[in-house]
Structure 1
Amino acid sequence: MLMVLLLSVPVAAETIRFGMITTPDHAWSRLMQQFKSSLENSSSNAIRVRESRFAKVRGESSIIELLGRGQLQAAIVAVGSLTTLDPSLNGWLMPYQFSSAAQLRLAAQSDDAKAMLAGLERHNLVALGYVFSGMRVIMTPTLMTSTRDLKGKRVGTFPNDVFYNWYRQLGADPQPIQIQDIRLWFEQEKIDAIDTDLATAVDLQLYDQAPNLMYTNHMAFPGVFVVSKSWWAALASGKQQAISAAFSQAEKTTFAALEQSEKADLQQLRERGVTVKKYTETDFNGVPQKLRDFYYGTNERLKRFGMAQP
């Protein structure tokens, strides 16, 4: 009788609470939803995946802190937020270092890129791999016909040193901003432009306030799928394998759709009346190379990683 009772007790499900700051239709949000679906539909694992709304509101610095304390189990965090833990990760953000998603995927397989991920374990984070999104662009309320028009403008940027120096070199005034504040800051005229990606621009309907797109593709913006090291170490190996497999499959599926998603987002912006002007590295008067050279001199791994790119 006791044996029957023991066998009838349901096994408690493992709950993974994750944090991320991206908008609903962003590549990283779609990746996490595919990860959730894959893991929860696995018949051999009692695992549930839930988003932490608290973490989303608090931002990535809070997400990293919660992961380090084991109070959050998983997250997708931009490399730009992890550079305080490992400055060599700034190598991913060098302006005009990458020109295609395929190039990013190849770079992620390099020894230096893998070493960047491995080094995060010192901060109680286990990195399961890189994730990718669209390149960075600039949206403005008023039409700009040259990169020189950015001089003196307040540009909302991701809170990272490379972003700040990039815009300062262009004569602009970088303003660190959280995604949820972009529309409000435009309304309050706190910024004159926003550094973003196409998916975020579409999701937040930024074309209502900034109907001009400087289609620069000036910077890549990878993220890292990370889990809490203390939580990960306590998991059974079978669950670790299931989680790793679910992430790997979700990453491949999302990456395969990235190029088409970028084209669709750009088309949607055009259909919403956005004026699109394309820019290349030559339009920035040597600033991209100047910034790359500066950062190559700050970190040997960053330099090796950057110089290895075709």
Structure 2
Amino acid sequence: MKRRTFLKTTTLAAAALAAPGLTMAGASKKLRIGTITPGSHFWTQTMDRVGKSMAEKSGGAFASEIFPSGQLGNEATMIQQLQAGGLDMGFLTVAEFSNRIDDMAALFTPYLVADVAQASKLLTGATATAMLDQYKTLGMKGLGFGLGGMRHLISRKSAATSADLAGRKYRITPFAPLRDFYELMDVAPTPVPLPGLFDALANGQVDGADIDLELAWKLKLYDQAPNLKITSQMMFPVVAVVSGKYWAGLDAGEKEMLSQTVSEEIDWLFAQYVEFEPKWLADLKGTGMSVSSAEPEFFGDTLAQWNGIWEPKAPSIAALRAEAQALA
């Protein structure tokens, strides 16, 4: 179904959610889905696929509307809409949820997995699946964890060790586990909206960024930050959540259909990152970037210090580590 263009202000967009005629004619179940990523991003494509699959499986009883690019506001705003029942479903970063549920920080444990293939297995494993139950505390149903690639360092100036990062300003996604990680290295974590990151690097507002290969390539960040350190220090998960009010309105068969559909399309998402991560890396190397790899030792004492802060707050770290070791 062709995606429509909606007003971008949060208030007006939220009001548009309640307007009639936003779903296919004849559909009895509206499924309104919010994301922060543009239509070209794999996360938004995953939700498009969920909507189309639900329509096919239900014979048109379900129809979806996707609100990409943060049209309904930032993730904090969309979480509020999910809790109030003004939004039916979100495909949102676990980062934002870790500001509300400490245990979600476990999924950002440094060097938990080596690559996206291991990450996809861990995020569908027993421990991560059990962690989905914690979204009940926010009035939501957690349906599954997806992935946004591994995290690396891109910068205007090169760095041999993390000591070289001290005093620099790095763009991060603003959430506590990642903020702690950079502050432990005396780096100034600097939140910058992704659409403004290219300019922020160009004008020196930031010296570098904690980034995945997809965005480094698609946002052309190599033009302003020609140094890429392949660290793979964290995975960056996303979670599919449904408003508790919407979930309660579905019968058992519909709940099973939606759960299964989300699971199938998240598997598709994992496959895209497994396929495209090496391609994006090759593309970035082809720009003439200075690309080097770093082992965990690059971060010095930061890893142990981070663990000391977060292991008491995020009890799932131990179980995830045990499960991850079996994947190695």
- Note whether the superposition's TM-score is higher than 0.5: yes
- 1:223 to 2:238 alignment: yes
Residue 284 of structure 2: aligned partner:
269
Q: CA deviation at 1:154?
A: 0.3
Residue 22 of structure 2: aligned partner:
none
Whether the aligned pair in 1 keeps the contact of 2:72 and 2:78 (CA below 8 Å) is no
Whether the aligned pair in 2 keeps the contact of 1:91 and 1:302 (CA below 8 Å) is yes
What letter corresponds to residue 292 of structure 2 in structure 1? K
Aligned equivalent of 1:197, options 197, 201, 212: 212
Whether the aligned pair in 2 keeps the contact of 1:142 and 1:212 (CA below 8 Å) is yes
Which stretch of structure 1 is more off in the superposition, 277-286 or 289-298? Answer: 289-298
Whether the aligned pair in 1 keeps the contact of 2:171 and 2:189 (CA below 8 Å) is yes
**CA distance in structure 1 between the partners assigned to 2:75 and 2:167 by the alignment:** 28
TM-score, normalization: structure 2?
A: 0.84
Whether the aligned pair in 1 keeps the contact of 2:169 and 2:188 (CA below 8 Å) is yes
**CA distance in structure 2 between the partners assigned to 1:56 and 1:287 by the alignment:** 37
**CA distance in structure 1 between the partners assigned to 2:139 and 2:213 by the alignment:** 32
Residue 36 of structure 1: aligned partner:
51
Which stretch of structure 1 is more off in the superposition, 92-101 or 298-307? Answer: 298-307
- 1:136 to 2:151 alignment: yes
Whether the aligned pair in 2 keeps the contact of 1:25 and 1:203 (CA below 8 Å) is no
1:28 aligns to what SS in structure 2? helix
Residue 74 of structure 1: aligned partner:
89
**CA distance in structure 2 between the partners assigned to 1:25 and 1:277 by the alignment:** 28
Residue 112 of structure 2: aligned partner:
97
Q: 1:224 to 1:53 in 2, by over 3 A?
A: closer
Aligned length: 301
Which stretch of structure 1 is more off in the superposition, 285-294 or 91-100? Answer: 285-294
- 1:27 to 2:42 alignment: yes
- 1:48 to 2:63 alignment: yes
Q: CA deviation at 1:111?
A: 4.6
What letter corresponds to residue 278 of structure 2 in structure 1? K
Q: 1:202 to 1:24 in 2, by over 3 A?
A: farther
Whether the aligned pair in 1 keeps the contact of 2:99 and 2:175 (CA below 8 Å) is no
Residue 181 of structure 1: aligned partner:
196
Whether the aligned pair in 1 keeps the contact of 2:38 and 2:69 (CA below 8 Å) is no
1:309 aligns to what SS in structure 2? helix
Could you list the runs of 4 or more consecutive aligned residues of structure 1 that deviate by over 6 angstroms after TM superposition? none
Which stretch of structure 1 is more off in the superposition, 191-200 or 207-216? Answer: 207-216
**CA distance in structure 2 between the partners assigned to 1:93 and 1:222 by the alignment:** 8
Which stretch of structure 1 is more off in the superposition, 16-25 or 260-269? Answer: 16-25
Residue 136 of structure 2: aligned partner:
121
**CA distance in structure 1 between the partners assigned to 2:267 and 2:40 by the alignment:** 17
1:17 aligns to what SS in structure 2? strand
**CA distance in structure 1 between the partners assigned to 2:34 and 2:203 by the alignment:** 28
- 1:251 to 2:266 alignment: yes
**CA distance in structure 2 between the partners assigned to 1:273 and 1:100 by the alignment:** 24
Whether the aligned pair in 1 keeps the contact of 2:184 and 2:305 (CA below 8 Å) is no
Deviations 1:63-96 (A, max 9, x none): 1111111111111111111113321110111111
**CA distance in structure 2 between the partners assigned to 1:156 and 1:62 by the alignment:** 21
Residue 17 of structure 1: aligned partner:
32
**CA distance in structure 2 between the partners assigned to 1:73 and 1:43 by the alignment:** 17
Whether the aligned pair in 1 keeps the contact of 2:213 and 2:280 (CA below 8 Å) is yes
**CA distance in structure 2 between the partners assigned to 1:54 and 1:78 by the alignment:** 13
Residue identity (%): 24
Q: 1:287 to 1:138 in 2, by over 3 A?
A: same
Q: 1:85 to 1:214 in 2, by over 3 A?
A: same
Superposition RMSD on alpha carbons, in Å?
2.2
Residue 308 of structure 2: aligned partner:
293
Aligned equivalent of 1:211, options 214, 226, 240: 226
Aligned equivalent of 1:232, options 247, 256, 261: 247
Q: 1:212 to 1:165 in 2, by over 3 A?
A: same
Residue segments in structure 2 that go unaligned for 5+ positions in a row: 1-24
1:88 aligns to what SS in structure 2? helix
Q: CA deviation at 1:133?
A: 2.4
Q: CA deviation at 1:23?
A: 4.3
Aligned equivalent of 2:178, options 163, 176, 191: 163
What letter corresponds to residue 254 of structure 2 in structure 1? K
Whether the aligned pair in 2 keeps the contact of 1:212 and 1:276 (CA below 8 Å) is yes
Q: 1:43 to 1:74 in 2, by over 3 A?
A: closer
1:291 aligns to what SS in structure 2? helix
**CA distance in structure 2 between the partners assigned to 1:260 and 1:76 by the alignment:** 21
